[in-house]
Structure 1
């Protein structure tokens, strides 16, 4: 008598596979979960083979140490959580403000409804490609929210009137949006919410560095001459001769410059924040904390500026209006200078001096450009400007290096041209015939 055929069983750890009442097949098994725990998962398929393949894939990933995805919420919910509970503790306040604007204006409207666990690289790439071609004035209704014009009384002027202004995002802005998304998803990977950062698999290309317009040597001399009688003459001279940033200049306190030693310690910056208004903050990076040498002319200017500030202090003290902050550059009443106010005064100075309009930050670029043209080594400029890596300095001022290379090539060309002219002269027979020297 033939024994009945035994039902095929699966080994321990392989899970179970069975057919549901609705005809679909279901497979279940235990896999690795966040926190080094085990969790039972269920997968489905139209056939036994399909359900078993899905379960086998999850078990194989679990055996490699990859936990299963636990995030079930939307990307918008996670980005809000990341900004309020993670990024706020690791970013400067101004940087956090910029990240919040990117999340609210671009990421949540574009990808916020996607499930965090189901977000793919294709979703990110498709969204970024569409973002390149969409007019942001039309998409965000910027023109429709404009304040009424005082003269005409009409509020809209382009997209709200059906005349698209084609306000597209620049490649640098797209790269910044992409980097914010990568940072958020990277933290989700660290918290084992998702197995991988899909935004890292999307290539946006390397954007061209922002162009700037440094002053030439003649324009720099003209600028210093025009600023000689300005109230902030010392500030403008220090900006052009040392390359300090606007916030670093406004954040200087009198204990920072050592006028006897001719040096200055840079360790803080003045910025406007949403929570504290004008605030003195630490520099953005460790490399920005530096000690620089002060030119002799700047030391003289700082001494004169300190005497002038003391006179203003005595004058204002009679009316009890002086506000002692200890900063080098202040308003006549001692209060801190608003960065936007300094920018307006700088632009007015350029107009009065009949100089072409540039940004205040271009004074910093002018310093580096003029130093490079004088043959100063790149590593010295990197330390003076406070760049984190010398590659940043080399990339930003690549156009200057190319111009210096052109000058070097022209010098070599002239030298070779003279050598050719000499070699083309007829031989009079007095010199011995040149012969090749043996090479060892």
Structure 2
């Protein structure tokens, strides 16, 4: 009788695989853990092959020097691992920077000592409620770290002197902190470190959308008049007439423009990052990469701007090729986003207009188009939103004037005919109508 063939023994370091009493397969092995230590982990699967594949994947990552965070470790260790080894590969650098700030300033100090496996929805909800009521100036010592003003000699006040300023986090910031935690825990679920994302069971409420201050029609005309003669007049006009984002305007290259056809192709954005400095990046989303139509006024301004740019290049006597950007400094280098903001604020002061953000020019474009009865789908394509629901949520507001027109229209329809002193409707006069709102 032939003896059954024994399975080939696994090499030292490859871990062990066996079937549990409940029918599942379990694989166990040693991997690199945070702090340059080694820890034994266990993974599970419905078959031997599945469990072995999961263990092999974790051991391979460990051999590449990537520490494996287990559910028995702290939330702080897991969040640090997630930032350095996971999020860095799929988040834009600017988004990764914001996530890092949220984790270091709020999540680790507040929940970092909790075990990842023992974190509950109640823990998160209790912490968020406390965070909602705590003065951040007191908690983080913001006022105490302020340096005295060299000109006025003023020293830190309020919380540093025992006079609380009650600087609390806004609902929008709280919702953002919650979303960062949900994203991190979602990856832990995918890696089967925890069975479910407990942060999803916590309701923070829907924060009110941020109020923005779009320019009225008269203010928009005043702004365009004040921009005439400014070195960046074409940029300001393009911003107001097309709603392009600041980074999209600064990242625009001459090769992206077809002035004869009156079109512009938006392919990139210019931003300052922590590691790369002033960097050209892809657009915010896939939908943000688009081609838009330019008005005749914008085409004329851009042609004049190109001539001005050529004169500046000749005046500097530089033989170096320019950066190719449409809007540059006099020396041909790209413009810093912060520098553009300073030019914009100075222009508002010169025009005696109320202070608004540069991004409010984008809101102004959408609002003015809505007032002219332009369809939301057209505004969506112009602004480069991923979904029309975004456009509808942010911009489907109606100004007081349009509300009054709508109410007057309804009042005219419901008015008692016997109270009307006007002559009877003989069908010759056109009906009263208001500007359409979509």
Q: How does 1:391-410 map to 2 (within 5 A)?
A: 391-400=389-398, 404=402, 406-410=404-408
Partner of 1:37: 26
Unaligned runs of 5+ in 1: 1-28, 40-60, 427-440
The whole-number CA distance in structure 2 between the counterparts of 1:103 and 1:222 is 44
User: Contact conserved, 1:135 with 1:166, CA < 8 A, in 2?
Assistant: yes
Q: How does 1:60-99 map to 2 (within 5 A)?
A: 71-99=71-99
Distance 1:339 1:32, change over 3 A: farther
Q: Residue 398 of structure 2: SS of its match in structure 1?
A: helix
TM-score by length of 2: 0.80
Q: How does 1:134-173 map to 2 (within 5 A)?
A: 134-173=134-173
Shift of 1:143: 1.1
Do residues 265 (structure 1) and 254 (structure 2) align?
A: no
Distance 1:32 1:394, change over 3 A: farther
Distance 1:310 1:198, change over 3 A: same
Distance 1:298 1:182, change over 3 A: same
Unaligned runs of 5+ in 2: 1-19, 29-44, 55-68, 425-438
Q: How does 1:344-363 map to 2 (within 5 A)?
A: 344-363=342-361
The whole-number CA distance in structure 2 between the counterparts of 1:418 and 1:227 is 51
Q: Residue 165 of structure 1: SS of its match in structure 2?
A: coil
Shift of 1:314: 0.8
More moved, 143-152 vs 244-253? 143-152
Q: How does 1:313-324 map to 2 (within 5 A)?
A: 313-317=313-317, 320=318, 324=322
The whole-number CA distance in structure 2 between the counterparts of 1:219 and 1:365 is 13
Residue-by-residue CA offset, 1:144-180 (whole Å, 9 max, x unaligned): 1112210344542221111111110000000000000
Partner of 1:281: 281
Q: How does 1:103-182 map to 2 (within 5 A)?
A: 103-182=103-182
Which of the pair has more CA radius of gyration?
Answer: 1
Partner of 2:59: none
Distance 1:424 1:365, change over 3 A: closer
Residue-by-residue CA offset, 1:395-418 (whole Å, 9 max, x unaligned): 112322786455234223224437
Partner of 2:340: 342
Partner of 2:3: none
The whole-number CA distance in structure 1 between the counterparts of 2:225 and 2:421 is 51
User: Contact conserved, 1:270 with 1:281, CA < 8 A, in 2?
Assistant: yes
Partner of 1:305: 305
User: Contact conserved, 1:239 with 1:249, CA < 8 A, in 2?
Assistant: yes
Q: How does 1:357-396 map to 2 (within 5 A)?
A: 357-396=355-394
Q: When the two structures are aligned, how many residues end up with a matched partner?
A: 372
Q: Residue 342 of structure 2: SS of its match in structure 1?
A: helix
Shift of 1:267: 1.2
User: Contact conserved, 1:71 with 1:116, CA < 8 A, in 2?
Assistant: yes
Do residues 412 (structure 1) and 404 (structure 2) align?
A: no
Residue-by-residue CA offset, 1:9-64 (whole Å, 9 max, x unaligned): xxxxxxxxxxxxxxxxxxxx75688xx5267xxxxxxxxxxxxxxxxxxxxx999x
The whole-number CA distance in structure 2 between the counterparts of 1:417 and 1:264 is 50
Distance 1:423 1:297, change over 3 A: closer
The whole-number CA distance in structure 1 between the counterparts of 2:135 and 2:22 is 46
Q: Residue 221 of structure 1: SS of its match in structure 2?
A: helix
The whole-number CA distance in structure 2 between the counterparts of 1:321 and 1:76 is 53
Do residues 331 (structure 1) and 329 (structure 2) align?
A: yes
Q: How does 1:36-55 map to 2 (within 5 A)?
A: 37=26
Shift of 1:339: 0.5
Q: Residue 174 of structure 1: SS of its match in structure 2?
A: helix
Partner of 1:211: 211
Partner of 1:433: none
Distance 1:133 1:273, change over 3 A: same
Residue-by-residue CA offset, 1:183-211 (whole Å, 9 max, x unaligned): 00000000000000000000000000000
Q: How does 1:179-258 map to 2 (within 5 A)?
A: 179-258=179-258
Shift of 1:220: 0.3
Residue-by-residue CA offset, 1:344-388 (whole Å, 9 max, x unaligned): 111111111111110000000000000000000111001111111
